[in-house]
A and B are shown apart, each in its own frame.
Chain A
Amino acid sequence: MTHYSAFTLIRKALGANRGWTRAWRNAEPRAGYDFVIVGGGGHGLATAYYLAKEHGAASVAVIEKGYIGGGNTGRNTTIVRSNYMIDGNTRFYEKSLQLWEEMSGELNFNVMLSQRGQLNTCHSPAQMDAAARRGNIMRMNGIDAELLTREEVRRRVPILDFSDHARFPILGALWQQRAGVARHDAVAWGYARGADRHGVDIIQGCEVKGFLQEQGRIVGVRTTRGDIRAQKVGLAVAGHTSHVARMAGLRLPIETHLLQAFATEPVKPMLHCVVSFGAAHFYVSQDDKGGLVMGSDLDGYNSYGQRGDLPIVEETMADAKALIPLLSRLRVVRQWSGVMDMTMDGSPIISKSPIDGLYIDGGWCYGGFKATPASGWCFAHTLAKDRPHELNERFTLDRFRRGHQLDEKGGGPTPWAH
C-alpha cells in the first residue's frame, strides 16, 4: 500500500499520476471471522481499525449494506468538540478530541481537522451562569474552556447580531478553542485504509438480514451475500440500531428521528469558527469551499425516511437570521437529512447486549461524528476484552433499568426533545 507523503505526491505527479493503488481492498466475504462489525460508517471502521491495531485481532470484517461512509458519516455538520458536563460524557468526548488531534498522523490520511474553535452564545444572565458552570466542570476535567464577554465575542465574530434590536441580545459565550470541524468522508476513508492495512476485510453491498443463533448465542450474521459466521458480532449501525437489533430479538431504549443539515452557496471567508446559538438549537460553520453549513433541531417525530420536512427548514432559517442577519442574503443550495438513534437519555450506548456474542455501539443522538474515534476505540476494547473500558463503562444498555441515565440536558425519556 502506498504511504502518502509530499514525496509520494511529487513522485506520482512526475509519473503523470499513474500507478496510484486502491486505498483499500474491496473484499469478498469469507465463511467466518473472529469479529464481524455491522456498519461501515466511521464508527464501524474505527472499531475494526482499533480491534486490529490495538488488540491484535487477526480476523475482522466490516460489512456495510451500501458503500462505506454513505450513511450518517456523510450526513452531518462535521463539528468536533468536547464541551460536555456529565461524568461519563466529559472524559469520553475529551478522549475523542485527543484522538482527532492525532488522527491524520495516525492514519497517514489527511482528515482536515481544523481546530478553529467553537462559540456557544449566551443570551441571559442565567445562561451565562450555566456556561460558567459548564466551563468550570470542563476545566476541572482538563478540557479547555473559556468564558467570553459580549465584547470578546464581538471581536471574534463581528457578524453576529450585536445591534440594539437583536431579538436575542448576546451577553457572552462559552468558547472551546480546540473544537472545530473535520472532513467527514476522509474519516471513513482514513479508517478504512488503516483497517485494511491491518488485514480487515471491508465488504460493501452486504446487508444484514438476520442473525445466526446457536443455543441462545449469536454466532454470525445472515446477509444478502450469504451467511458469515463470527465469534462476536458488533453493531455500529446508528440510526438503524433498533431495526437490526430486533432481528436478534432485542428491543432497545432508542427511537429513530430525522436530523437535517443545510449548506449555502460558497462565499468568501466570513465565519472563522463554529458558532452554536444559545437562544435556539442552531449551529453553523463555514466549510473550506466557502459554504455555510447549518443545522438545528430534529424533525420531531419517529422516522427512518432520510429526508427532512419543511417546518425545520423554516425554523433553521429563522434561527440563522436571528443569529447572523446577513445570512438572509445567501441561498441554500443543498439540504440533506440523516436518521438518528435517539436514546432515552440523550447519551450513547457502547455495551455488551443481553445476548451472548452480540455487542452494541449506537444511540449516538446528535453526537456521533465527534465521537467517531473514541467510539471505535472503546467499542474495540469492549469487543476484545468482553468488558467496557473505563471511558465507556457508563454507556451500558442496562443503565436505564438501574436508574443511571446520563441525561446531559435533563430532558427525561423524550428522545425527540433531546
Chain B
Amino acid sequence: MLRIACPYCGERDQVEFTYGGDAASGFPALADADLDRWTDAVFIRDNPRGEHRELWQHQHGCRQWLYVVRDTVTHAIQSVVPARDASPAAGADGR
C-alpha cells in the first residue's frame, strides 16, 4: 500500500487517492495546431524505469490535485506538493 503524504490532510492510504497519470507532459496552447506536439502530449510518454512525476487527486479527502515524485521500481515517494505549486508542465487543471 502506498502511503501518500497529502500536504493538506497528512499521510493517508493510497485508496483515498485517484491516479491522474504522468505529470511531465503538459498540453500545448489551445491555439497551437501542430499535430506532432499534440500527438506527443496526448499519447507519448517517457514511462521511466525509476523517478516518475505523476498526479494524484485526494478524492476521498481534500479533493486537491497533488504532484508526486515516485520511483516506479521501489515505489518510494520522494515528494508530494500541491499540483498548482508544481512545475508549469502539470497544467492548469492538474491533468
| A-to-B contact residues, CB < 8 Å | 240, 242-243, 246, 251-256, 300-305, 309-311, 344, 400-401, 413-416
Contact partner of B15 (CB less than 8 A), chosen from A255, A311, A400, A415, is: A311
- Select from chain A the residue with minimum beta-carbon distance to B18: A300
Classify chain B's interface size. 20 to 34
Specify which of A401, A415, A416 lies most central, judged by the most chain B CB atoms within 10 Å of its CB: A401
| Residue contact B22 to A302, C-beta cutoff 8 Å | yes
| B-to-A contact residues, CB < 8 Å | 1-2, 14-15, 19, 21-22, 35-36, 39-40, 42-49, 52, 54, 70, 72-75
| Residue contact A251 to B45, C-beta cutoff 8 Å | yes
**Can you offer 26 A-B residue contacts whose CB atoms are under 8 A?**
A242-B47, A242-B49, A246-B46, A251-B44, A251-B45, A251-B46, A252-B44, A253-B43, A254-B45, A255-B45, A301-B2, A301-B14, A301-B54, A302-B47, A302-B72, A303-B73, A304-B49, A305-B72, A305-B74, A305-B75, A309-B2, A309-B14, A400-B42, A400-B44, A401-B36, A415-B21
A254 to B2, CA, bound (A): 23
Task: Tell me how far the C-beta of A308 lies from the nearest C-beta in chain B, rounded to whole angstroms.
Answer: 11
Please name all residues of chain B whose beta carbon is closer than 8 Å to the beta carbon of A301 when the two chains form the complex. Answer: 2, 14, 19, 54, 70
Task: Tell me how far the C-beta of A237 lies from the nearest C-beta in chain B, rounded to whole angstroms.
Answer: 12
Contact partner of B75 (CB less than 8 A), chosen from A242, A300, A303, A414, is: A303
- Select from chain A the residue with minimum beta-carbon distance to B45: A255
A300 to B56, CA, bound (A): 11
| Residue contact B72 to A303, C-beta cutoff 8 Å | yes
| Residue contact A401 to B39, C-beta cutoff 8 Å | yes
Q: Work out how many contacts link A and B, with CB atoms closer than 8 A.
A: 74
Task: Tell me how far the C-beta of A399 lies from the nearest C-beta in chain B, rounded to whole angstroms.
Answer: 10
Task: Tell me how far the C-beta of B80 lies from the nearest C-beta in chain A, rounded to whole angstroms.
Answer: 14
| Residue contact B49 to A413, C-beta cutoff 8 Å | no
| Residue contact B1 to A304, C-beta cutoff 8 Å | no
Specify which of A246, A251, A304 lies most central, judged by the most chain B CB atoms within 10 Å of its CB: A304
Please name all residues of chain B whose beta carbon is closer than 8 Å to the beta carbon of A302 when the two chains form the complex. Answer: 22, 47, 52, 54, 72
A305 to B52, CA, bound (A): 13
Contact partner of B1 (CB less than 8 A), chosen from A243, A305, A309, is: A309
